[in-house]
A and B are shown apart, each in its own frame.
Chain A
Amino acid sequence: MKLHLLPIATLVWLQSLVLPAAESLGEEWGTAEREAEYYRIVEIPIPDPLFVEAGCFATMPDGRIAVGTRRGDIYLVEGLTARHPLPKFHRFASGFDELLGLAQKDGELYATQATELTRVVDTDGDDRADLYETINDSWGFANYHEFALGSKFDKEGNIWIALGLSKSYHSWALFRGWALKITPSGEAIPVASGLRSPLGVGDNGHGAMIYAESQGPWNGACSLKHLKEGGFMGHPISYNWYEYAPNMGPTPVEPNSPSRLEIERKRVKELVPYAVVFPFRRMGRSISGFVLDETDGKFGPFGGQIFIGDHTLSLMMRATMEEINGVWQGACYPFREGFSTGILNCHFTPEGQLLSGGTNRGWPVRGAKENILERLDWTGKMPFEVKEINVLSDGFRLTFTKPVDKKTATNPESYVLGSFTHIYQSGYGSPEVDRTVPVVESAEVSEDGLEVRLKVNGMVQGHVHEFEFGAVRSTDDDEPLHRHAYYTLNEIPAAESAE
């Protein structure tokens, strides 16, 4: 055995040498103090001697929250939602390997762990799991770094599992770098190739499945990507498994490097453009688990939107998506910084509070605490924010959370735009390149003051469009809580004839 161990340890060590030198985590947004007026971070005390490195959450029919951890426990937590929580943790199940997905159906849990998707059931009613049934384990697992991320159930009752690469660079074991769909009967259907290092998978709020990808080779920045069935997510190292996935058709053409995604998507027809790109450092460094706001307004004005954490920078962001010409795209927005640990996942409580947790070990994090759960509560006060950006044939529509002041909002100079893209390449990450300055020609405010239509000269297909709108004021003279947002423009819609 010793002989076998040595090479693996050496490989891991060698790999640490070839990784790019660690960089400074970057500046904070500096908005935490103001954000706290609207969204308050509440620490959830964890009783000794429990150790809770949360990787996934689910709500049970009785209202308790199931928390799955890296150490492999599932706790059912009661009393999480109290204003000053002092919850009870009940160890419902244990023994898993890196839990990174929990879905609940009829009181049973479907847990995605490194090795498999497991159905976890309490068959004798003593409130402890006694059946751990392997639903599917048809992927290779040969290195500790090969994480498996599981979704909730989709409309058809499937669970989608995103499989990270081997040591995040290779695909040495079956379907590493692929997404599989596990049907209700337990069958695994390969649905997409080309993943790198996923950290979250789920519905985008419009019925399409997406996942959170990390910056690295073939990924200039982190992004939310549409797991289009049959699609290729950009990293070709996992092409070697197409022969095991006849439903996926022939192996796609190899993308060229260095190139641009906008160019290669024309060559590689399976390549799905990255839907929402998160500019590196400004919008996180390792985006992670995400959740949809289905709280009926309990969490504030962002109903239906995606809330997504960042592991490295310990912050929470928002994202919105729309389908244009059959391609998903959308925007990301800063939301809340100042969490205490590296966020792995988040979840809404039945009271509409955003629960989050994660880990501080192994990878750099800004929030360096371990063994911590935090809850984000809306204080009820309305922040002045750009709620959503949508693309128009000749510009963008910005929807605000509060009516805008006409004077500042109709002034085109209140909006500063920039555009850029990344080099699509096999090397690690990318600088922001091909910068342009689209110009706002006019800004038209809707009657209710909530929408502003920007007519923009110089939109660039395939580019991230960054917005700075700090000069806009609300009618009650509030300045935007956050001044930036980033829209990934994969497609420009045709002009509507009615317009």
Chain B
Amino acid sequence: MSPNHLLHAACALPLLSLGLAAQEPQIPASHHSFPAPIQGELLVGELGCAACHDHSGDWKSGPRLDGIKDRLSANYLREYIARPHAKKPGTTMPDLLAGYSEEEKDEIAGAIVDYLFEGKSEPLPLQAVEPAAVERGQALYTEIGCVACHNADDADLPNSYPLIGVDEKYSVKTLTAFLEDPLKVRPDGRMPDLNLTHWEAKDLASYLLREQKDPASAPQSNSSPARIAEGKKHFEGLGCVQCHSPENALEDFAPALASISLAADCSKAHYELSPEQKETIAAFKPQTHPLPPAQAIQLKMAQMNCYACHSRDEIGGPSEQRDPFFTTTNLNLGDQARIPPPLDGVGAKLKPKALRKILRGDGGVRPYMKTRMPNFGKDNIEDLIAWLGEVDHVEPMEIDRNEDPDAIRKTGWELVGEKNLACNACHTFLGEKSTTLDALDLSVMHGRLKEDWFHRYLRNPQKFHPTTIMPGFWPEGRSVRPGVLDGNADKQIDAIWQYLSKGREARRPIGVRPEPIPYGPADDEAVLLRRQYNGIGKRGIGVGYPSGINIAFDAGKMTLRTVWQGDFAEMSAVWRGQGSGFVKEAGDRLVQLPAGPSLAKLPSMESAWPIVPLEENAPNFQFKGYSVDQKQRPTFRYLFEGIAVEDKLLDSADGPSLTRTLTFAEEIPEGVYFRLAQGSDLQAHEDLPNAWLLAEGLVISSSVPGTLVKAGEEEELRLALAGQTKLTLVYQYLD
């Protein structure tokens, strides 16, 4: 250790007492047992050696510094630049001031920061964090995959990228902005974009800065032009540009790696390397880039730390210590539901377009997995997609396909459904579960998978996934459904494939029953919904009352058509698909009152009641709308023969009953009748006057006397309204 280092160590004592020690640069994937050339490439790449020496290959660059003065605390940065390994043990940023005295370090770092923060005098604003946001942020941090690369609270996870000093460095606002789009500042994809909403990013920032005191009470920068010029000179002379602004970097800043001895320490940049890292570098032989694809995949996956979550060729996957942080919302699906999929042969499995989507964080096909697949940035993935396609290539399978792919879809549909292979028992269809399982949606498969792989996988899932609970339906090539397509495995699998090719437009498999969508009063207010109801054309108006009585009114015929008790409605025939169905009455004791208009002008009481086709409006009527009271209970308004009618329907607080008051704007003329009910078995109520007992124990009482009139096989209960200006009806269920 140089004298400088001794001093440095002394300065760092308070930090050491907090458990922080100068540590070698952390490259999490480097603990895997890669072949030596990959290990060397990884170390040299992640230390950014090529930034100065070759400027070729794929290396980890530094964060972009555009906008840094609005993003970070100058105080933090001064300390960090002066003594990076003390401030942030494990950082891959080299100490470029190792050879300078302590005073010089502070002086140079100060000048660089003044240059970078030119014109910025206000410190970063300190923001109070909300405890609830901290709590949500902590849940996100531990669940969505941050812990795959970073250390967790109360844990000591080896091979972590250090997250030290974050709360001295950022404000909640600027860390939120960083987390929303990390690729903007770090385009090399080492810190990928987790597709956080603004509010998630803010929660996460609140959590990470939960103990923040004051990130920067001192001014950001306050300096003279001379000072700024000096900072610029250092910034350029020390080579900061090489990593932090690669587009402005000098290609011949330092000799090529191949031309220098790697056994000696770097003359400019001090990395705090471990003895093992020094050995790796000493033994490193620069390769010709691009590497052979198989190696290139390994290197890329190590650089991006894909191995933290995924395994491939027996390398990687969650470590024992990190395993508990990979969780799921559906334990029934087994480990596959919580551990990101292994990537063996993934290039043979997924279409390049799907791979691209996934690597951009837009895969999203495993809703049960809490860890998120992030976006690694469009500039960092194309090579990988091409290499995977090349390396994982398998010889195309001879597939005995069906002749007419269009015609065979129906067979595929039948095979998928519950009477046959019941794929829907585990797999969802457009998000609908048939059981407690919600494995990969049937609608996304064709868009992701290669046909060849699909055939191979279905024939023997265990070969691909020893722990999968997916059964094999074609053991040794023999179908468990020998009666379909002569039991030909290829043709059966092809039929399923053709069925799946419709994606979201595929016909719903038999056995997938959409969840009901209940609808009704949520509090003491009624709900009203215009829609098509059973027995009413299209101008139905349903009303669900909180007291447990429900009606459907026909606004084409001004008639109360249906009454039922209990819950109001089940909406899946209306609020799913195109909405072609009818509102389903959810309760019981349903009674349908006569179709057709309730009011009619007739030659006599006994005349035949007019018939109006179901979907047509009754002539001589005009619906005028309705108003609702404070409890959302309606009063319908309409014209009958030019007479304005108000038809108010109120429930009762005491139970399932409804008081209906029809108010006429003028006295009803001769020959106008109201049809109250129809049936073969209408009985006058024994005790109540002007009351009749209908089916299901529904009693209707009327303020106007009624007459039973023979109408075909049945009877109709009619009221003569001549001379009336009001009609009151009570609909009540007997207990």
Contacts and interface: CB of A to CB of B under 8 A. Distances in A.
Contact of A141 (B538, B576, B582, B627): B538
A94 B632 CA distance: 10
A96 interface: yes
A95 B528 contact: yes
A51 B537 CA distance: 26
A402 interface: no
A130 B532 CA distance: 22
Contacts of B197: 43, 45
A70 B579 CA distance: 10
Interface stretch (A357-365, A385-393, A443-451): A357-365
A12 B555 CA distance: 24
Interface stretch (A113-121, A206-214, A245-253, A476-484): A113-121
A142 B502 contact: no
A319 to B, nearest CB: 27
Contacts of A363: 578
A80 to B, nearest CB: 15
B406 interface: yes
Nearest to A124: B630
Given A71-B575, A96-B530, A131-B627, A115 B504 contact: no
A142 B199 contact: no
B534 A142 contact: no
A144 B574 CA distance: 9
Interface string B195-214: 00111000000000000000
Given A71-B575, A84-B198, A86-B199, A364 B625 contact: no
A126 B110 CA distance: 61
Contacts of A84: 198-199
A21 interface: yes
B564 to A, nearest CB: 14
A4 B614 contact: yes
A61 to B, nearest CB: 22
A145 B530 contact: no
A300 interface: no
A97 interface: yes
Most buried by B among A5, A113, A143, A144: A144
A21 B406 contact: yes
A85 B532 CA distance: 36
Contacts of B575: 51, 70-71
B624 A130 contact: no
B346 to A, nearest CB: 23
Most buried by A among B199, B505, B528, B580: B580
B505 A173 contact: no
B253 interface: no
B623 interface: yes
Interface stretch (A132-140, A260-268, A409-417, A419-427): A132-140
A131 B406 CA distance: 52
A143 B578 contact: no
Contacts of B617: 137
A368 B406 contact: no
A142 B532 CA distance: 10
Contacts of B629: 130
B535 interface: yes
B85 interface: no
Contacts, number: 101
Given A1-B592, A12-B580, A45-B197, A134 B534 contact: no
Contacts of B581: 144
A22 interface: yes
A118 B624 CA distance: 9
A134 B616 CA distance: 17
Most buried by A among B527, B528, B537, B628: B628
A133 B530 contact: no
A98 interface: yes
Contacts of B505: 22, 364
A33 interface: yes
A358 to B, nearest CB: 14
B539 interface: yes
A142 B577 contact: no
Contact of A142 (B504, B537, B592): B537
Contact of B555 (A5, A72, A98, A115): A115
A12 B532 CA distance: 15
Nearest to A98: B579
A144 B527 contact: no
Interface string A55-95: 00000000000000011100000000000101000000011
B528 A144 contact: no
Most buried by A among B378, B579, B627: B579
Q: How large is the interface on B (under 10, 10 to 19, 20 to 34, 35 or more residues)?
A: 35 or more
Nearest to B543: A95
Contacts of A43: 197
Contact of B529 (A4, A12, A72): A72
Contact of A133 (B502, B504, B579, B624): B624
A358 B527 CA distance: 24
B625 A134 contact: yes
Nearest to B555: A115
Contact of B627 (A1, A72, A130): A130
A22 B580 CA distance: 19
Contacts of B541: 95
Interface in A39-59: 43, 45, 51
Contacts of A368: 504
A171 B197 CA distance: 47
A95 B505 CA distance: 30
B623 A144 contact: no
A1 B535 contact: yes
Interface in A184-220: none
B527 A94 contact: yes
Given A97-B530, A115-B539, A364-B504, A173 B623 contact: no
Given A130-B627, A130-B628, A133-B625, A361 B530 contact: no
A144 B532 contact: yes
A84 B581 CA distance: 38
B100 interface: no
Interface string B560-579: 00000000000000011111
B530 A115 contact: yes
Contact of A97 (B531, B535, B614): B531
Contact of B538 (A51, A143, A365): A143
A362 B535 CA distance: 24
B418 to A, nearest CB: 20
B392 interface: no
Interface in A344-374: 361-365, 368
Nearest to A120: B625
A132 B625 contact: yes
B233 to A, nearest CB: 31
A142 B538 CA distance: 6
B578 A145 contact: yes
A118 B537 contact: no
Interface in B250-278: none
A137 B537 CA distance: 14
Contacts of A12: 580
Contact of A113 (B198, B530, B627): B530
Contacts of A134: 623-625
B646 to A, nearest CB: 13
Contact of B625 (A94, A118, A142): A118
Given A43-B197, A95-B528, A362-B579, 16 more contacts: A1-B592, A22-B505, A51-B575, A95-B530, A95-B541, A97-B530, A97-B531, A131-B627, A132-B627, A140-B615, A140-B616, A141-B538, A142-B615, A146-B538, A362-B577, A365-B504
6 contacts: A4-B614, A5-B534, A21-B406, A72-B530, A95-B528, A98-B579
Q: What 7 A-B pairs come out closest when comparing CB atoms?
A: A362-B578, A142-B615, A134-B625, A95-B528, A133-B625, A97-B530, A84-B198
